[in-house]
């Protein structure tokens, strides 16, 4: 029997269209897999077996009637629990939203549904997308399918783990400072953070608006281009979204990087980067050279300030965004008789938020307060501009930049969670990209002691095409995508 759950979307879609397999069979195959491995992985917060099967049967009937059912017809998709799904629990990994059922779909959710996608569940994540391991989830951590005592990465760890464990075909994640690329690297899947503004953020529960984007997590680069082609483009509900309607990225899938010029910025191989990771990434650079690209080592001097800059901006924005969770408007409320509203508000937030979220609200509020605003927040904004300039200069001379996605392979569960600073440091190679707003992809580039390593390809603003083309060329010339974890 074919394990349909282990296939890519583009392969399955062909089979569904030719009626070699029905969507119902695909959904059943994915849920059989979930029954088998989910108790080990914990990739999902909610699962929607009944509604998924029902939707699949409707799609199958429409296909039999010869109707055009869209580019994702009957394909199972796992959605990170930070995106609103109409009528379906959306927790954002937090106790404070443990009973929140949105009355609307996020724009990306609406767009994939329109193409016939079937949402099979909502995936686990760090609370409010704050973290790099999913250990900050209020609903327990996920486990890495390649090594069960290791983290999946985060914050979109559930989405990446579900793909790696073949518990879904496609997934969506969000990336404020690495949350798509970090778990993609740790779970050996593909993850793309689009250019800021390319994908609508409407219905994405906000953490730090000026940094984040929704993007695809997939089993290969072709699926990534396909999913991006569907979710991108203007949305009148998001004023920061691009003015153009929609772009198709399937033309980017060309196996050729001849004469591409690649920059390898040395600041991305700084302190804390494991030698084994460095070697995997350099092997990738040399592979590109063998395939006809040129590369040069470059310097981007302000990258070293990325971590403090990112955390100041992100925490400041978070402190303001999370003010809305007061127990009055959404979700959970701590009850206390005859208490003033501010007391109820305080207890609700004390009980509803986890410790990392509280830490960030406090630090962000501090950085924005009178007397400290100039010293911290404003200064961070100025350095952000310098970091942006570094990217502009580097990308003026190069088609793309190649760096590690993460400085290390996945770490052990429990290893960093008690030490927030060491957790923050692991974001060193991903946060600069969000500060600059440019696109970047993480694709698998090797294993170190059976633990996955990812390489990051960074492009010019709105040049997802080049990023995807370089990634595709690498993938076509490597056999990593065909490797599967033993579960
Ligand atoms: N690890 C980073 C943080 O904790 C990035 C998270 C994200 O991209 N949502 O803020």
Sheet of 213-218: strand order equals 44-47, 118-123, 76-80, 170-175, 213-218, 190-193, 440-448, 451-458, 400-404, 261-265, 294-298
Domain ranges of the chain: 4-259+459-482
Q: What is 73-86 written as a DSSP string? A: TT-EEEEETTB-BT
pLDDT, residue 331, reads: 80
Torsion of CA 293, 477, 297, 279, to 10 degrees: -160
Q: How far apart are CA 243 and CA 157, in angstroms?
A: 31
Assess contact for 322 and 209: CB atoms under 8 A: no
User: Given the structure tokens 């978070």, which residue do they identify?
Assistant: 318
Do 162 and 155 touch, CB atoms closer than 8 A?
Answer: no
Name the nearest CA neighbour of 225 among 452, 395, 471: 471
CA 395 to chain centre: 23
Q: Which residue out of 81, 82, 126, 131 has the highest number of ligand 1 atoms within 8 Å of its CB and is therefore the one to mutate?
A: 131
Going from the Cα of 176 to the center of ligand 1, the distance in angstroms, rounded, reads: 5
Which residues pair with residue 174 across a beta bridge?
Answer: 214
Beta bridge partners of 265: 298
Six-digit token string for 150:
């290791």
For the chain, which residues score pLDDT lower than 70? 1, 481
Selection from 294, 210, 226, 263 nearest residue 75 by Cα: 226
Say how many Å lie between the CA of residue 181 and the centre of ligand 1.
10
Kindly list the protein residues whose Cβ atom lies closer than 6 A to any atom of ligand 1: 129-132, 155, 175-179, 207, 314, 427
- Residue 59 is classified by DSSP as H
Q: What burial class does residue 99 get, using C-beta atoms within 10 Å of its C-beta: 0-12 exposed, 13-18 middle, 19+ buried?
A: exposed
The pLDDT, as a whole number, for residue 342 is 87
Tell me the backbone φ, ψ of residue 419, rounded to 5 degrees: -130, 85
Residue 75: its pLDDT value, please? 98
Check 132, 155, 316, 440 and give the catalytic one: 155
Whether 133 sits among the annotated catalytic residues: the reply is no
pLDDT at 479: 82
Does the pTM of the predicted model rise above 0.95? yes
- Residue 384: closest CA among 440, 316, 307, 439: 307
Query: Which CATH number among 3.20.20.100, 3.90.1300.10, 3.30.9.10, 3.40.50.880 corresponds to the domain 4-259+459-482?
Result: 3.90.1300.10
From 29, 138, 179, 399, the catalytic residue:
179
96: helix, strand or coil: helix
Among 94, 124, 132, name the best residue to mutate to test ligand 1's pocket (greatest count of ligand atoms within 8 A of Cβ): 132
Please say if 23 is a catalytic residue. Answer: no
In contact, 387 and 435? CB cutoff 8 Å? yes
């Amino acid at each position: 029997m074919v394990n349909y759950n282990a296939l890519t979307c583009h392969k399955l879609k062909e089979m569904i269209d030719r009626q070699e397999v029905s969507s119902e069979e695909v959904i059943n195959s994915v849920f059989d897999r979930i029954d088998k491995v989910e108790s080990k992985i914990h990739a999902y917060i909610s699962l929607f077996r009944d509604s998924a099967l029902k939707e699949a049967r409707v799609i199958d009937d429409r296909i039999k009637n010869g109707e055009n059912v869209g580019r994702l017809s009957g394909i199972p998709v796992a959605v990170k629990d930070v995106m609103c799904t109409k009528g379906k629990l959306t927790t954002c990994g937090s106790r404070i939203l443990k009973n929140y059922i949105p009355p609307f779909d996020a724009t990306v959710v609406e767009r994939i549904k329109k193409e016939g996608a079937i949402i099979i569940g909502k995936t686990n994540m760090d609370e409010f997308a704050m973290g790099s391991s999913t250990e900050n989830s209020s609903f327990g951590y996920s486990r890495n399918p390649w090594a069960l005592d290791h983290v999946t990465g985060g914050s979109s760890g559930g989405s990446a783990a579900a793909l790696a464990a073949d518990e879904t075909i496609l997934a969506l994640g969000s990336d404020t400072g690495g949350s798509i690329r970090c778990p993609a690297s740790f779970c050996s899947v593909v993850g793309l953070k689009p250019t800021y503004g390319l994908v609508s953020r409407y219905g994405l529960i906000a953490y730090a608006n000026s940094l984040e984007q929704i993007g695809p997590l997939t089993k290969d680069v072709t699926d990534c281009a396909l999913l991006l082609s569907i979710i991108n483009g203007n949305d009148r509900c998001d004023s920061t979204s691009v003015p153009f309607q929609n772009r198709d990225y399937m033309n980017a899938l060309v196996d050729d990087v001849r004469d591409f010029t690649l920059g390898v910025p040395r600041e991305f191989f700084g302190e804390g980067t494991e030698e084994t990771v460095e070697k995997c990434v350099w092997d990738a650079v040399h592979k590109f050279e063998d395939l006809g690209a040129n590369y040069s080592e470059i310097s981007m001097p302000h990258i070293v300030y990325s971590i403090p800059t990112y955390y100041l901006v992100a925490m400041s924005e978070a402190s303001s965004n999370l003010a809305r969770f007061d127990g009055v408007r959404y979700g959970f409320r701590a009850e206390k008789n005859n208490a003033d509203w501010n007391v109820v508000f305080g207890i609700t937030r004390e009980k509803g938020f986890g410790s990392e979220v509280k830490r960030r609200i406090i630090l962000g509020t501090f950085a924005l307060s009178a007397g400290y605003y100039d010293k911290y927040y404003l200064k961070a904004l100025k350095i952000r501009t310098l970091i942006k300039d570094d990217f502009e200069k580097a990308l003026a001379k190069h088609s793309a930049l190649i760096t590690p996605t993460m400085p290390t392979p996945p770490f052990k569960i429990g290893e960093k969670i008690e030490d927030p600073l060491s957790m923050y440091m692991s974001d060193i190679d991903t946060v600069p990209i969000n500060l600059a707003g440019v696109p970047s992809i993480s694709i698998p580039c090797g294993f170190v002691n059976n633990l996955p390593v990812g390489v990051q390809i960074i492009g010019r603003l709105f040049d997802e095409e080049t990023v995807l083309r370089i990634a595709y060329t690498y993938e076509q010339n490597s056999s990593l995508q065909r490797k599967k974890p033993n579960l």
